[in-house]
Structure 1
Amino acid sequence: MKVLYLLRHAKSSWSDGSLPDHDRPLAPRGKKATRALVRHLAGVGAEPALVLCSTALRARQTLDGVLPALGAEVDVWYEDSLYGASDDELLARLRKLPPAVPSVMVVGHNPGLADLAVELVAGGDEAALARLHTKFPTGALATLGGIESWQTLGPGAASLTGFVVPRDLGTGQTGSQR
C-alpha cells in the first residue's frame, strides 16, 4: 500500500508588501513550526521516497526545515505547477507517479491541498477526520494510507492515518494563508 503525506507550507511573512506572493518567506512562527515538524516526522518514522515541492519560497523553506527528518534516501523534485495547483491538478500529478514509488510527500498550498485531502479520504481516525474537514492550517500535515496505486488514486481511495497541525506540536501557530 502507498502512503501520501500532504504538507502545507508553514506560516509565511507578509512584512514586505513589495514581494510577489511566490517570493514570500517563512515568518518566524513558520520557522518554529518546521522545527517542531522535524521532531514529529522523526517520531512517527515518516520517510517518503519522493517529495514533490512547490517552487514558492515559503514551500521550499518549509521543506528545507523538515528535510533532516525525511531520511537520506529521499528524492526531491521542485515543480512550478504545484504553486496554486487545484485538487484536480494535484491528483493528476500524483496519478503520473511511477508505480514503484511507495510513498510521496507533497509540499504545497491551499486550497488545493485541503481539497485534495478531503476528496481522497474515505475513513480513518474520526477525530482527525473532523479536524481535517474543519481547517487545514499552514504547517499542517495529513498522512493518507491504504492507497492501492497512484494510477487509480481518486475520491475515497485513502484513509486518514494522521493529521497534525503546528498547535498540536506546541508552536502556537495558526494560519490560513495560501
Structure 2
Amino acid sequence: MKTLGIFRHAKSDWNDARLRDFDRPLNERGRKGAAVMGKHIRDHAVGWKCVLASPAVRVTQTIELACEAAGETPPITWDRRIYLANSAALLDMLRDQDGDPASIMLVGHNPGLEDLIFDLVPDDGSCPLRDIVEDKFPTAAYAVLELDIDEWSGIAENCGRLVHLVRPRDLDPTLGPTAIS
C-alpha cells in the first residue's frame, strides 16, 4: 500500500491584473488558510516522505506558510509540470518516482488535483468523502488516499480509497465561503 496526499494551494490574490497566473500570490484569507492547514497536516501525522509541488507563487507561499505553522519542512521537489497538469500527467509523474517512497504529497492546482481524486477513487457510492470532492475541492483542501499498489509504477485508475478530507472551513469557519445576502 502507498499513501498519496493531495493539497491544493490556498486562496490566491486576483487584485493585480498585470501579474501572470503563475505569479499570483496568496491573499490574506489564503495566508491564514495555509497556516491552519499546515498545523492540521502535521497533526494528521502521515509523515510525508516526499512532496512534489508546482513552483507557482501561490503554491510556494502555501507550502512556506504551512511548513512554518507546522514547525517542520519535508523534502520538496519543485516540478513545473505540476502547474496546470491534468490527471493523466500527474499519474505519469507519480509512476516515474524514484526510490519508491511510502508516501507522496502533491501540492498544486485544480482541476488536475480534483480530477486525480476522481480517477483514483471509484465512483461506486462507497465513499461519502468523494461526494464532497464532487461538490467542490476548494483552495487549501487536503485529501489523503490509500492506494492498493506496491510500487508507484503501478498506480492506476480506481486503485485508491479516499480516507481523509479536510477543507480550511472545517477547521475555521471564517475560512469558508462568504454568505451572500
Q: How high is the TM-score relative to the length of structure 1?
A: 0.90
Given candidates 148, 151, 154, the residue that maps to 2:153 is: 151
- Kindly provide the amino acid, as one letter, of the partner of residue 106 in structure 1: L
**Greater displacement, 111-120 / 94-103:** 94-103
Note the 1:94-133 alignment, pairs <5 A.
94-122=94-122, 126-133=127-134
Q: Which residue of 1 aligns with 2:91?
A: 91
**Structure 1 residues 12, 171: closer, same or farther in 2, change over 3 A?**
farther
Moved more, 96-105 or 45-54: 96-105
State the secondary structure of the residue aligned to 2:29: helix
Unaligned 5+ segments in structure 1 are none
Higher strand fraction (1 or 2) = 1
Q: How does 1:17-96 map to 2 (within 5 A)?
A: 17-68=17-68, 69=70, 71=72, 74-96=74-96
Tell me the residue number matched to 2:16. Answer: 16
What RMSD over aligned residues (CA atoms) do the two structures have, in Å? 1.9
Q: Percent identity?
A: 36
1:154-173 matches, within 5 Å, as 154-173=156-175
Contact 1:31 1:65 in 2 (8 A): yes
Matched residue pairs, number?
174
Cα distance in 2 between the residues matched to 1:171 and 1:147: 34
Cα-to-partner distance string for 1:74-133 (whole Å, 9 max, x where unaligned): 211111111110111011000001253111111100110000111101379733121012
Normalising by structure 2, we get a TM-score of 0.89
